[in-house]
Structure 1
């Protein structure tokens, strides 16, 4: 059915280009053609497609396969000649294990080539896409409540209720859902035995931030008409907080596809649209708005307002805790400050217009902070500092872009400000594999160390410890009450000065294994869940490949023995106890935690590869970061607001200037606050070599 909002219909000027997406089904790319020119005699191609395919296969069979790991022979034989050679280049570096030790420029080339390969072979559409109709972006120069009308050729892409996409074809595990038992895996390999932190690299604000983002991007629709029960096996029953627990399975929907017959739907909007504070539909948006001067509701103490049932009022409040609530409150204040500035600059703007412009600005600020502030602390190397800044500003840098605007393509000018959005022929979505690698609950500690902010700071602006508050007192409804007693400033300063947990084996919080889960409206459910065991089950249920198959599909060299994964003898012993000698059975989450980390990386290399692909996609596929990232769409003042905000510290200084001035010694608000500021480096960023 054609939407009444659509103004432009495909006529003879529009046509579909059907292409085979690497054996993953067909996709449609809509192309516009101007009125036809006088007919010219077409030049006959020198080689037909069949001839090129034959040449590639012959070249591969006779030459390339000698230099390529046998697990990739089939994948490479189906690539184009250029991609096959690009893969050979990347693969050669991988076999030496040196990409992260390359000079910055060479490292960026490696990452750019690898990203290109994943854009070609690891973006898989799930679900049907509309055909024959498009809408005019000019009719929707703002972010809609449910994420629709962003992609001009697919009004539903990225909207609430759209399908999760795939980076890897689904791997059916119906006969392996309980092999090995999820509660055994959780007990023997995940549960925290002794708290391990990230030292000074990453603090509790950083841990809260990624949860803040997850609440913006992804949540699966559940089948509330049935329940699954997991029962602790005898061998671990006395070590499990719950002897059994029940939960709702993920709801499956038919896709209409041949290769991928069913998929799950996202009840959040996967765009970077600030839905964590605005909500993912019109009903939630109505609850958070004041309908005065475009503003959102917030309490006088600077924390979230609560309804008559004690449930916080914000965009997404399901399964939350005090750390996420403080960030929601901070960015509600940011939104309202943008409204005040725009109203002063443009007094004729009405409530709806002020809200729409402020949402665009605030969402862009959140995306920018994540890209060039949070991520460079997560992946603390010069190479990734250069790479993430290039994503936003391009290789020419901020000064050039501020002076001359976006020049060149995505490499020189950055992804932000491209002339048109790019989705690589696959409608935008976030993926099941993206969800899996962002299972990061190990970041959470057992307690928050509350600081005394009523006394003068000590060395390195460090406030003295006041008391420890157990994490169970800071989650859900109880957490909101505790936070109201603590206050925004004390909570934020305390999180800033506390390192978060490390992403390693035996560091999953025990208190999350007896958790009160919530409905989508933030109300507590009667059944407690063992979240560690549930996360293992979810990956299997959602047909996410296990660790080794996951790596192969991402063109990463798989492991052949446990020693390839870790040098920890104790870990190898327990891995053998749980999985035997079959490395192919290793669950993805366990592999990600066991994997040796690259120096400076808080996450595993395997998780990083998915991040490399999807972090780019969130920016380049969104027209509000590409073709509509301009003064006309954002207003001149709003556009200036985004361009002059570089970090979370900038946002904090706008609303709580005394916090960073008095309590923050570090350069970034995401590293532990008593750490020294970044030392100046006289060597230009692109000319640097990694430290040994």
Structure 2
């Protein structure tokens, strides 16, 4: 815990945990004890892949026991079937756009407007004083640790730019905070090269005080639904969803058909009409359009199979299928790409299919009715692990990945020889310019997807946030440095600093800056200078960017601990995935669509020009096989892979 002079008074040992709500069974406790003993000698990531995956499965059990907390002091906030009756029985077998009634017992759980939860006991996440908020200077931290140096783009060469776009596309489904009208004035030091005289930021809006504990530890509302329900496409209210649908009984989403392709429609101000359109750039344009097309293709297949269904029936099932497919793609394709470690290759496939594997599960169905380890999470039964489902403030924190964004995007022809078409600065494909390469620049959707498949994103590390995001003016006229914003948001919302964050996860805590950086003396000195020699003040994001990375990992192990807990929780808590995972809920046609499709199928379905290239590429989110003309071009300065 921090005091008013900017120092931090904490014990070196982990704090005594509260009485857990979730208690592991006897077999789970034995497994936990065995892996604790093994990990004293060999960390999980140095074990053989299959054993390492089991190690992670037991680690997840321990995280469920000690790192899930409601954002409310009373469970009554989640509602009950008696005080929140379902207005339409349709929602027994369909997702409600505001997220209500996913749980029939706690109908408000996970819905839009509910608080973020925590991965740590709330007493460890207090509202900071103004001095704590600005100590050390967040803009200084951004300048020293976030700024991408001149010609200093650090590529993540195991990923492609589609992986970067995908995670933003997903986080726009999962969370967004409400903003207050009250503003923070961010101090700028003498000689700061900020483009304006002042930097201001709207504070995060705290929820009403519902309990005395909310004064010291405020709760903050999630304006999106917390479920994996495609709200970035469909909206987080029934009214928003209805506005995005066609006026006919086909169950489809409205799209703008043009001679040069199918586009998202726009409003009178040029904003894309979709469920969530903030922070827009061409990456969002591509993925929102792709999965709107996918929704409509599912509608066509359902109409063919069930010609007598109403438009609502077609829409509801198509949305269920589309959402489940996105969850599957994220679980078994995106995650193994960004966490390319043998244990994760096994573990993430097992999250969906179980250790028995995809082929046997497809052939025989679930071997075990309830074991998520044997037969995967889908269909294993819903379990909240002792805490009402929500996404957490710490989960938001570990997805601060602005360094994934490049400075430029190089566009290539997806067909023929794959020749270079243009190289465009990121600023010229953002906000109102997001459609420009597609609408005016002679780049087709297939060209753009191919280009994203061979461009590198930035590595998630220090000194790699692009200038565009550090001098960002948004359509509402606000100017900000996203590096400074990232630091301030974590502090403002009570996310513990790096050492405390690890301590609360029962991880080892560095006692020196050199230990934190894994022996990088230059970085250790830089951190010590910036944080006035006080290692306990290092921000969670900066510490995570500074620690040594596990081989194959795209981000830190500190962030990964939150990830492995929350990634499976989004599946396990959802009655449409962990619960009614069957042909009765999805239809025979819809269930097979999810189980038999992946990202390659989605792309090839709508852009057949990509099929040959995709067939030669192992993971859609790793660099694709390049056509000859693209391979001859290249060079990091264009953000295309270097020539071979």
Bin the TM-score by the shorter chain: 0.7 to 0.9
Q: 1:310 and 1:621, CA in 2 relative to 1: closer, same or farther beyond 3 A? A: same
List gaps (5 residues or longer) in structure 1: 1-68, 458-462, 518-523, 677-692
1:155 aligns with 2:107: yes
Residue 415 in structure 1 maps to residue 377 in structure 2? yes
* Residue of 433, 438, 463 corresponding to 1:506: 463
2-side partners of 1:114 and 1:121: how far apart? 11
Distance 1:487 1:70 in 2: 57
Query: Alpha-carbon deviations, 1:309-335, whole Å to 9, x = none?
Result: 111111110112110110010000100
Match of 1:424 in 2: 385
Q: Distance between the aligned counterparts of 1:272 and 1:390, measured in 2?
A: 19
Match for residue 657 of structure 1? 608
Which of 403, 414, 421 matches 1:442? Answer: 403
Structure 1, 111-120 or 362-371: larger mean CA deviation:
111-120
Contact 1:493 1:663 in 2 (8 A): no
Correspondence for 1:573 = 525
What secondary structure, in the 3-state scheme, does the structure 2 residue paired with 1:156 have?
coil
Contact 2:414–2:609, Cα closer than 8 Å, also in 1: no
List runs of 5+ in structure 2 lacking aligned partners.
Answer: 1-10, 628-644
- TM-score with structure 2 length normalisation? 0.87
Deviations 1:471-494 (A, max 9, x none): 011111122334422331221111
Q: Give 1:627's aligned residue.
A: 579
Classify 1:90/1:563 alpha carbon distance in 2 versus 1 (closer, same or farther; 3 Å): farther
User: Which structure has the larger Rg?
Assistant: 1
Residues 97/178 of structure 1: CA separation in 2 closer, same or farther (3 Å cut): farther
Q: How many residues align?
A: 590
Conserved in 1, the CA contact under 8 Å of 2:285 and 2:434? no
Distance 1:672-1:241 versus aligned 2 partners, 3 A rule:
farther
Are residue 469 (structure 1) and residue 420 (structure 2) matched? no
The answer to whether the 8 Å contact 2:244/2:253 transfers is: yes
Q: CA deviation at 1:674?
A: 2.6
Query: Partners of 1:181 and 1:475 in 2: how far apart?
Result: 29
| Structure 1 match to 2:219 | 263
For residue 220 of structure 1, the aligned residue among 162, 165, 177 is 177
Could you tell me which of 106, 112, 118 is aligned with 2:51?
106
Deviations 1:25-61 (A, max 9, x none): xxxxxxxxxxxxxxxxxxxxxxxxxxxxxxxxxxxxx
| Contact in 2 for aligned 1:303/1:326 (Cα 8 Å) | no
- Counterpart of 2:637? none
Distance 2:602 2:103 in 1: 29
Inter-CA distance 72–662: structure 2 relative to 1 (3 Å threshold)? closer
Separation in 1 of the partners of 2:372 and 2:420?
A: 47
CA distance in 1, matches of 2:200, 2:619: 41
Equivalent residue of 1:450, what SS? Answer: strand
Q: 2:485 aligns with which of 512, 518, 534?
A: 534
635-644 or 91-100: bigger deviation: 91-100
Q: Equivalents in 2 of 1:242, 1:84: separation in Å?
A: 57
- Tell me, what secondary structure is at the counterpart of 2:16? helix
Structure 2 SS opposite 1:248: strand
* In 1: Cα distance, 2:430 partner to 2:186 partner: 24
Q: Would you say the 8 A contact 1:423–1:621 is kept in 2? A: yes
- Whole-angstrom distance in 1 between the partners of 2:312 and 2:610: 33
User: Which whole-Å CA distance do the structure 1 matches of 2:196 and 2:37 have between them?
Assistant: 48
Q: Distance in 1 between matches of 2:91 and 2:460?
A: 45
CA deviation after TM superposition for structure 1 residue 259, in Å: 4.3
Assess if the C-alpha contact under 8 Å between 2:166 and 2:287 holds in 1: yes
- Does 2:139 match 1:183? yes
Match of 2:504 in 1: 553
Give the 3-state SS of the residue equivalent to 1:142 in structure 2. Answer: coil
Distance 1:664 1:255 in 2: 55
The 2-side partners of 1:256 and 1:330 are apart by 42
Local SS of the residue matching 2:576: coil
Q: Which residue of 1 aligns with 2:544?
A: 592
User: Which residue of structure 2 aligns with residue 381 of structure 1?
Assistant: 341
SS class of match (1:448) = strand
Distance 2:264 2:491 in 1: 36
The corresponding residue for 1:686 is none
CA distance change for structure 1 residues 549 and 483 in 2, over 3 Å: closer, same or farther? farther
Structure 2 distance, partners of 1:649, 1:406, is 25
Is the contact made by 1:180 and 1:578 (CA closer than 8 Å) also made in structure 2? Answer: yes
Q: Structure 2 CA distance, aligned partners of 1:97 and 1:248?
A: 46
Q: For the residues of structure 2 that align with 1:421 and 1:333, how far apart are their CA atoms?
A: 30
How far apart are 1:562 and its partner, in Å?
A: 1.2
Alpha-carbon distance between aligned partners in 2 of 1:270 and 1:484, rounded to the nearest angstrom: 34
Partner of 1:346: 306
1:263 is paired with a residue whose SS is coil
Aligned to 1:74, the other structure's residue is in SS state coil
Tell me the secondary structure at the aligned position of residue 395 of structure 1: coil
Seen in structure 2, the aligned counterparts of structure 1 residues 350 and 171 have a Cα distance that, compared at 3 Å, is same
Answer whether contact 1:666 1:675 (CA < 8 A) is retained: no
Partner of 1:401 in structure 2?
361
Alignment partner of 1:612 out of 564, 568, 571: 564
Structure 1 counterpart SS, 2:270: coil
Residue 331 (str. 1) matches residue 291 (str. 2): yes
Check 1:579–1:95 CA distance in 2 against 1; reply closer, same or farther (3 A cut). farther
Q: How does 1:56-75 map to 2 (within 5 A)?
A: 71-72=13-14, 74-75=16-17
Q: Which of the numbers 103, 110, 130 marks the counterpart of 2:79?
A: 130
Aligned to 1:376, the other structure's residue is in SS state helix
* 1:287 to 1:243, Cα distance in 2 relative to 1, 3 A: same
Q: Structure 1 residues 540, 90: closer, same or farther in 2, change over 3 A?
A: farther
| RMSD between superposed Cα atoms in Å | 2.3
Q: CA deviation at 1:85?
A: 7.4
Counterparts in 2 of 1:92 and 1:591: CA distance versus 1, 3 Å: farther
Deviations 1:353-384 (A, max 9, x none): 11001000000010000000111111112211
* Distance (whole Å) between structure 1 residues aligned to residue 406 and residue 351 of structure 2: 32
CA–CA separation in structure 2 for the residues paired with 1:663 and 1:365: 18
Instruction: Please give the per-residue CA displacement for 1:246-291, whole angstroms capped at 9, x wherever unaligned.
Output: 1211010135345455200011111000111111112321221113
Instruction: State the SS of the aligned residue for 2:435.
Output: helix
Using the alignment, how far apart are the partners of 1:116 and 1:102 within structure 2?
A: 19
TM normalised by structure 1 equals 0.81
- Deviation, 1:571, is 1.4
Distance (whole Å) between structure 1 residues aligned to residue 39 and residue 197 of structure 2: 44
